[in-house]
Structure 1
Amino acid sequence: MRIRIAAVGLIVGAVALAGCMLPQHEATPAPASAAPEKAEPEAADPSPSKAVQVGGEAEDDVKVTGCSVDGGTGWPAAKLLITNHTERTFNYMVQVEFVDASGTRIGTGAAAENNLASGQKARATAQGFVKASGKITCKVTDVQRYSL
Structure 2
Amino acid sequence: MRTRIWLATAAVAAAAVLTGCSVPETSDSGKSDSGSSSNAVKDAAKDATKPATGNAPQKDVTLSKCGTDSFGQYPQADLVVKNHSSKSSNYIVQVEFTDAEGTRAAEGTAALNNLAPGQKANEKAVGLSKAPSGMKCRITKVTRYAAP
Please, what TM-score do these two structures have when normalized by structure 2?
Answer: 0.67
Specify the structure having the higher radius of gyration (Cα): 1
Query: Is the Cα contact below 8 Å between 2:24 and 2:144 reproduced in 1?
Result: no
Q: Which has the higher contact order (CA 8 A, sep 6+)?
A: 2
Shift of 1:87: 0.6
Question: Any idea what SS the aligned residue of 2:19 has?
Answer: coil
Identity of aligned residues (%): 39
Aligned to 2:97: 98
Question: Which amino acid is the alignment partner of residue 14 of structure 2?
Answer: L
CA RMSD of aligned residues (A): 2.8
Alpha-carbon distance change, 70 to 25 in structure 1, aligned in 2, over 3 angstroms: same
Determine whether 1:18 maps to 2:11: no
| Alignment deviations for residues 43-84 of structure 1 (CA, whole Å, 9 cap, x no partner) | xxxxxxxx82xxx11111111011013462411111101010
Q: Structure 2, unaligned stretches of length 5 or more?
A: 26-52
Cα distance in structure 1, aligned partners of 2:117 and 2:5: 38
For residues 1-148 of structure 1, the aligned pairs below 5 Å read 13-22=10-19, 24-25=22-23, 52=54, 56-70=55-69, 72-146=71-145, 147-148=147-148
The total of aligned residue pairs comes to 119
Shift of 1:114: 1.5
Query: Is the Cα contact below 8 Å between 2:110 and 2:124 reproduced in 1?
Result: yes
Alpha-carbon distance change, 136 to 19 in structure 1, aligned in 2, over 3 angstroms: same
Alpha-carbon distance change, 13 to 125 in structure 1, aligned in 2, over 3 angstroms: closer
Query: Is the Cα contact below 8 Å between 1:68 and 1:135 reproduced in 2?
Result: no
Shift of 1:13: 4.4
Question: Which amino acid is the alignment partner of residue 19 of structure 2?
Answer: L
Alpha-carbon distance change, 8 to 26 in structure 1, aligned in 2, over 3 angstroms: closer
